[in-house]
């Protein structure tokens, strides 16, 4: 073990801030992260074994136990459940002989579930280690497992043509892009990255900031912060160095537009980062890529190399004296790492705990230096704005929401996939566009967004002051159990809470239990009051945006579809609360005895 | 000095002061659990939530500003603070009468101060393992409120390494103790660790119930008195 650990440490200069990369390499080597390795890492990184575990145990994809030769992570997002998840999960258990959360008796297959893996347009989907398989059926599962047993690797099965992983064709062989409507900003093969960089890198950074400000471009990651202002604040912070980070964590269930942008237009994204670097005087850039997108890594690295070979990245870009390079930081499975301050912690090799603010990352970000974090789509838009001009861009969309927005459409519709829309179109317009005929509800912006009633909200407009969508749009027709969807979303937040603050860690579990009461038909009218008041407490007192939004699936669904939350008045003659399960309560004594007997034996 | 308004009353505070301190100096009590005077704010418990210029914010993470308007006693935000204390009681197993920390436990003291009677959240009775592996102290995890004080503030004195650390994420996370480092803690640091833990989770071995009832910390001087009369609460 020793020599391989030493060479992994050497690869990253024994730098504690690169712990996520180190842990990935250890897991790739041993299949999990063994105690011996942790001890050795601790001494090589001048820390303790428990400190290493503190970081590793935060991330869903890091394992502390052996998990079979292959580990299969089946996506359990609500969309998958609408598209055949049940049959696929049964087939997986039958074929592998493993149960979820365990390994089969021969130690070949570890089976796990995981939240949305960014493939809602082609669910059911799963990861086999780092390789994705989409549009699963029980038959496909039988085939995949049989071939793995026969010794084929996941790569060989997913990519029968044997294409190199650096090639776009490889990525396309694994995953469809499903772009159904391109628009003026994205997916135009005409964006000439070299020309844009030649035009702008020679200019004064103030001019870039001015152009970004004049275009009135706002961040596409969710918060809608002005891009020009973010760059200016970052530039004006006093420091010897600065960083630009591209947020490619794309963890919000239902979104996959960043996946498609990185597949079809990586150069447009990287050029946007380079422009931001010139504007903010940054010398290093990081793309924080979620682990679910490992299959894109080699391809993206090849694209970065292409830019370097052409003198568009690296030292002295285009002979203009600008040094800027980009590296890819892989995540390891944590929705919270999409929050920019948690993302920065993760880049520093730590748990993805959101920082207290202030200070904001533009003042003190990565390694304590001013850092501009923007979403993938934001950077791609920047390149287009710089190519065609701020006033051209400002003319698109509405007055308060300029430009276009990529929508990731999934659920009950004829054509799930990517649509570029101009801000200002209505919900009904989009529903017609995607072929959603019998839509009842739309979950806009993922679980952290809001539930809309097509009947009540169809006329509303996509714009920052009304439907300010982060890209995710899941459609549910009249056959769906919306309360079940709400429960799923709450379970997501319970699983993904970082746990550092009381309201989110504790309160989301309480909300989940309450939803269970409604689903079991045991709720009382006061339970509705509790949902509202507890939800409000969690939203107001939580430390970060996760707790700030986690009660929204309940609160917004309750607002639009109050009839789903059936609560019977408690009959006066009944002495027990409907939520009190006396069978369960009376069995506690027996269960405690059984547990004690087991302990004694 | 700068001027701000707390509960409608104009008060003065030192520029750059922390809101919890500024309020305390002006006789206004803001309950706290993870906050430690003079240490960097860790902002985990949220029990100090107040309204600042209309928005609910954890007071420990606020630096006072000229013209700031703060509401502490306003009923909705006071109820939020009480709810958070209740949540902490429901989340663990807190059996005050049998706990060594009773009478000097900050959770218990803040429970009294916020007017908690019973938790509005269902009690969970979670099974939690204790850890008795270290020589001088042990972890009674039933009572841990996950405030992170021990993780942030107690370090090995020679190497600076953590003695207490976190394992896991979300509500499944728990505090771990590095037995090797813990066994090298000098006696006064063992005491410090026990005292810094706001509840009865980190306990010194071979001592217990060593202060008679009626003379215990918060019986002598309440949490509120300590915060508003300048006595430290840890
Ligand atoms: C829980 C949580 C998850 C988030 N996830 C993402 C994400 O996956 N991608 C993203 O770009 N922004 C995400 N954000 C928003 C980021 O914190 C940040 O605002 C954004 O990356 C800034 O980029 P923009 O200005 O281009 O929007 C998330 C925020 C929170 C609170
Ligand atoms: S709100 Fe949730 S995710 Fe955010 S800091 Fe608190 S526990 Fe962590
Ligand atoms: S052991 Fe004590 S100090 Fe440490 S996190 Fe738990 S309650 Fe806080």
Give B3-22 pLDDT, tens digit per residue.
Answer: 999 999 999 999 999 999 99
What's the mean pLDDT when you consider all of chain A? 96
Tell me the average pLDDT across A470-497.
Answer: 97
- A351 in contact with chain B, both atoms CB, cutoff 8 A: yes
CA distances from A307 to A164, A311, A314, A333, A334 (A): 19, 6, 8, 29, 30
Nearest to A541 among B84, B145, B170 (CB): B84
% residues pLDDT > 90 (chain A): 92
Tell me the average pLDDT across B128-133.
Answer: 96
Burial A203-218 (b: 16+ CB within 10 A, else e): eebeebbbbbbebbbb
Residues in A closer than 8 angstroms to B173, CB to CB, are 57, 499
How many CB atoms are closer than 10 A to CB B186? 10
Name the closest-CA residue to atom 28, ligand 1: A339
Instruction: Determine whether the interchain pair A54/B162 forms a contact, defined as Cβ–Cβ distance below 8 Å.
Output: yes
Q: Which atom of ligand 2 is nearest to the CA of A505?
A: 7
Q: Is the pLDDT of residue A472 over 60?
A: yes
Instruction: Determine whether the interchain pair A499/B90 forms a contact, defined as Cβ–Cβ distance below 8 Å.
Output: no
Banded pLDDT at A118 (limits 50, 70, 90): very high
Q: Which fold has domain A181-394?
A: Rossmann fold (3.40.50)
pLDDT for A592: 86
Asked whether A285 and A210 are in contact (CB, 8 A), the reply is: no
Q: Is the pLDDT of residue A1 over 70?
A: no
H-type helices in A360-453, by residue range? 376-388, 390-394, 427-434
DSSP letter at A426? B
The rounded Å distance from CA A512 to ligand 1 centre is 25
Q: Which fold has domain A404-480?
A: Ubiquitin-like (UB roll) (3.10.20)
| Residues in contact with B200: Cβ distance below 8 Å, sequence separation at least 6, in sequence order | B99, B100, B101, B102, B105, B140, B143
Return the closest-CA partner of residue A373 out of A334, A349, A337, A405. A337
Omega before A534 within 30 of 0, i.e. cis: no
Would you call A291 exposed, middle or buried from its count of C-beta atoms within 10 A (0-12, 13-18, 19+)? buried
Banded pLDDT at A586 (limits 50, 70, 90): confident
Instruction: Determine whether the interchain pair B87/A507 forms a contact, defined as Cβ–Cβ distance below 8 Å.
Output: yes
What's the mean pLDDT when you consider all of chain B? 96
Asked whether B141 and B129 are in contact (CB, 8 A), the reply is: yes
| Residues in contact with A128: Cβ distance below 8 Å, sequence separation at least 6, in sequence order | A70, A71, A72, A144, A148, A154, A158
Q: Is the pLDDT of residue A189 over 70?
A: no
- The kind and range of the H/E element at A195 are helix A193-201
CA distances from B108 to B34, B85, B194 (A): 14, 9, 16
Return the closest-CA partner of residue A23 out of A73, A59, A50. A59
Could you give the domains of chain B? 137-204 (3.30.70)
Distance in angstroms between the alpha carbons of the first and the last residue of chain B: 27
pLDDT for A601: 78
Question: How many Å apart are CA B86 and CA B112, to the nearest integer?
Answer: 11
Query: Of A530-539, B156-165, B206-215, which gets the smallest average pLDDT?
Result: B206-215
Instruction: Determine whether the interchain pair A502/B45 forms a contact, defined as Cβ–Cβ distance below 8 Å.
Output: yes
Tell me the nearest-neighbour CA distance from B7 into chain A, angstroms: 19
- A321 in contact with chain B, both atoms CB, cutoff 8 A: no
- Residues B80-83: contacts with CB within 8 Å, 24+ apart? B80/A537, B80/A540, B80/A541, B80/B49, B80/B56, B81/B31, B81/B47, B81/B48, B81/B49, B81/B114, B82/B114, B82/B115, B82/B116, B83/A534, B83/A537, B83/B120, B83/B121
pLDDT for A69: 95
pLDDT for B234: 55
Give A5-59 pLDDT, tens digit per residue.
Answer: 999 999 999 999 999 999 999 999 999 999 999 999 999 999 999 999 999 999 9
CB pairs under 8 A between A and B: 111
Nearest to B167 among A57, A334, A530 (CB): A57
Name the closest-CA residue to atom 4, ligand 3: B150
pLDDT for A396: 96
Instruction: Determine whether the interchain pair A502/B173 forms a contact, defined as Cβ–Cβ distance below 8 Å.
Output: no
| pTM confidence score | 0.96
pLDDT for A572: 61
Q: Is the pLDDT of residue A578 over 70?
A: yes
Tell me the average pLDDT across A332-356.
Answer: 98
Banded pLDDT at A582 (limits 50, 70, 90): confident
Banded pLDDT at B231 (limits 50, 70, 90): low
Q: Which residue has the tokens 């006595």?
A: B231
How many CB atoms are closer than 10 A to CB A228? 21
Nearest to B91 among A51, A506, A542 (CB): A506
CA-angle at A74, arms to A141 and A158, nearest 5° = 50
Tell me the average pLDDT across A561-580.
Answer: 79
Instruction: Determine whether the interchain pair A542/B46 forms a contact, defined as Cβ–Cβ distance below 8 Å.
Output: yes
Banded pLDDT at A568 (limits 50, 70, 90): confident
* A579: its two tokens: 């939520």
Give A504-514 pLDDT, tens digit per residue.
Answer: 999 999 999 99
CA distances from A134 to A85, A144, A164, A418 (A): 12, 12, 19, 17
pLDDT for A584: 81
Banded pLDDT at A570 (limits 50, 70, 90): low
Output the DSSP codes for B154-178: -B-TTT--BSEEEESSGGG-EEEE-
pLDDT for B127: 94
Tell me the average pLDDT across A190-219.
Answer: 94
- A503 in contact with chain B, both atoms CB, cutoff 8 A: yes
% residues pLDDT > 90 (chain B): 95
Whether A70-158 shares its CATH topology with A181-394 is answered: no
Return the closest-CA partner of residue A152 out of A140, A160, A163. A160
Q: Is the CB of B150 under 6 A from ligand 3?
A: yes
Return the closest-CA partner of residue A545 out of A399, A362, A346, A337. A337
pLDDT for B232: 60
ipTM exceeds 0.90, yes or no: yes
Q: Where are the domains of chain A?
A: 3-16+24-54, 70-158, 181-394, 404-480
Question: How many Å apart are CA A297 and CA B17, to the nearest integer?
Answer: 47
pLDDT for A580: 80
Tell me the average pLDDT across A582-593.
Answer: 84
Tell me the average pLDDT across B181-189.
Answer: 97
Q: Which residue has the tokens 């060593």?
A: B210
Q: Which residue has the higher pLDDT, A581 or A452?
A: A452
How many alpha carbons fall within 13 Å on the CB side of residue A299?
Answer: 24
B:140-179 residues touching chain A, CB 8 A cutoff: 145-146, 148, 161-162, 165-173, 176, 178
Give A377-432 pLDDT, tens digit per residue.
Answer: 999 999 999 999 999 999 999 998 999 999 999 999 999 999 999 999 999 999 99
The rounded Å distance from CA A496 to ligand 2 centre is 9
pLDDT for A573: 65
pLDDT for A138: 98
The rounded Å distance from CA A588 to ligand 3 centre is 29
Strands in A339-400 per DSSP E: 371-375
pLDDT for A329: 98
CATH 3.40.30.10 corresponds to the domain A70-158: yes
């Amino acid at each position: 073990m020793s020599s391989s650990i030493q060479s992994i440490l050497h690869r990253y200069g024994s730098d504690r801030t690169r712990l996520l990369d180190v842990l990935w390499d250890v897991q790739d080597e041993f299949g999990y992260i063994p105690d011996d390795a942790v001890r050795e890492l601790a001494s090589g990184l001048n820390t303790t074994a428990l400190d290493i575990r503190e970081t590793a145990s935060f991330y869903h994809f890091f394992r502390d136990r052996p998990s079979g030769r292959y580990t299969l992570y089946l996506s359990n997002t609500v969309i998958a459940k609408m598209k055949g998840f049940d049959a696929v999960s049964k087939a997986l258990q039958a074929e592998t002989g493993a149960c979820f959360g365990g390994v089969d008796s021969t130690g070949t297959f570890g089976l796990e579930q995981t939240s949305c893996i960014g493939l809602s347009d082609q669910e059911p989907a799963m990861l086999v280690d780092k390789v994705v398989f989409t549009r699963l059926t029980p038959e496909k599962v039988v085939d995949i497992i049989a071939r793995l047993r026969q010794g084929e690797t996941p790569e060989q099965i997913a990519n029968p043509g044997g294409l190199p992983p650096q090639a776009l064709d490889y990525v396309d062989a694994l995953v469809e892009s499903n772009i159904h409507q391109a628009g003026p900003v994205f997916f135009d093969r005409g964006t000439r990255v070299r020309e844009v960089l030649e035009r702008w890198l020679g200019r004064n950074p103030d001019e870039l900031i001015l152009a970004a400000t004049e275009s009135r471009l706002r961040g596409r990651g969710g918060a809608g912060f002005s891009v020009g202002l973010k760059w200016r604040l970052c530039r004006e912070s006093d420091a010897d160095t600065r960083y630009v980070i591209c947020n490619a964590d794309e963890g919000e269930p239902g979104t996959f537009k960043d996946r498609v942008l990185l597949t079809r237009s990586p150069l447009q994204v990287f050029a946007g980062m380079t422009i931001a670097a010139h504007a903010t005087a940054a010398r290093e850039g990081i793309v924080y890529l979620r682990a679910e997108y490992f299959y894109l890594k080699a391809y993206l690295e090849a694209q970065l190399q292409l830019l370097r070979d052409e003198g568009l990245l690296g030292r002295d870009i285009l002979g203009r004296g600008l040094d800027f390079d980009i590296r890819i930081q892989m995540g390891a499975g944590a929705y919270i790492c999409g929050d920019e301050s948690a993302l920065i912690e993760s880049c520093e090799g730590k748990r993805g705990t959101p920082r207290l603010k202030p200070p904001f990352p533009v003042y003190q970000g990565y390694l304590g230096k001013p850092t501009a974090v923007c979403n993938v789509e934001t950077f791609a838009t920047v390149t287009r704005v710089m190519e065609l001009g701020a006033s051209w861009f400002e003319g698109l969309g509405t007055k308060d929401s300029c430009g276009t927005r990529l929508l990731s459409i999934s659920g009950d519709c004829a054509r799930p996939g990517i649509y570029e829309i101009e801000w200002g179109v209505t919900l009904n317009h989009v529903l017609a566009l995607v072929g959603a005929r019998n839509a009842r509800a739309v979950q806009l912006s993922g679980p952290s967004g809001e539930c809309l009633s097509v009947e009540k909200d169809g006329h509303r407009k996509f714009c920052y002051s009304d439907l300010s969508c982060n890209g995710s749009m899941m459609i549910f027709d009249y056959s769906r159990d919306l309360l079940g969807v709400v429960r799923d979303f709450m379970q997501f937040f319970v699983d993904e809470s970082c746990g550092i603050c009381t309201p989110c860690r504790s309160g989301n579990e309480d909300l989940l239990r309450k939803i269970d009461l409604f689903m079991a038909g045991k709720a009382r009218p006061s339970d509705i009051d509790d949902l509202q008041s507890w939800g409000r407490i969690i939203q107001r007192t939580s430390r970060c945006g996760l707790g700030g939004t986690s009660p929204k699936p309940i609160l917004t669904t309750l607002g639009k579809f109050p009839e789903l939350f059936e609560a019977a008045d408690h009959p006066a003659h009944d002495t027990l609360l409907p939520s009190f399960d006396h069978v369960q309560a009376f069995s506690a004594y027996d269960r405690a005895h059984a547990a004690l007997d087991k302990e004694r034996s | 000095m700068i001027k701000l308004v707390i509960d409608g009353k104009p008060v003065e505070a030192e520029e750059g002061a922390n809101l919890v301190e500024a309020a305390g100096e002006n006789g206004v009590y803001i309950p706290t659990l993870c906050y430690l005077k003079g240490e960097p704010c860790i902002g985990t418990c949220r029990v100090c939530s107040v309204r600042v210029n209309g928005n609910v914010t954890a007071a420990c993470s606020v630096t006072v500003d000229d013209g700031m308007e703060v509401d502490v006693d306003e009923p909705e935000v006071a109820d939020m603070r009480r709810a958070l204390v209740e949540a902490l009681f429901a989340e663990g197993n807190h059996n005050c009468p049998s706990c060594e920390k009773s009478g000097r436990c900050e959770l218990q003291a803040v429970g009294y101060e916020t007017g908690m009677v019973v938790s509005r959240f269902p009690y969970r009775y979670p099974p939690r393992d204790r850890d008795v592996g270290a020589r001088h102290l042990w972890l009674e995890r039933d009572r841990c409120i996950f405030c992170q004080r021990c993780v942030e503030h107690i370090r090995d004195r020679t190497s600076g390494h953590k003695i207490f650390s976190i394992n896991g994420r979300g509500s499944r996370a728990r505090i771990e103790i590095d037995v090797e480092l813990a066994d090298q803690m000098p006696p006064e640091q063992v005491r410090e660790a026990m005292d810094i833990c706001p509840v009865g989770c980190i306990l010194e071995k071979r001592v217990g119930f060593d202060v008679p009832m009626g003379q215990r910390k918060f019986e002598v001087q309440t949490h509120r008195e300590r915060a508003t009369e300048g006595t430290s609460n840890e």
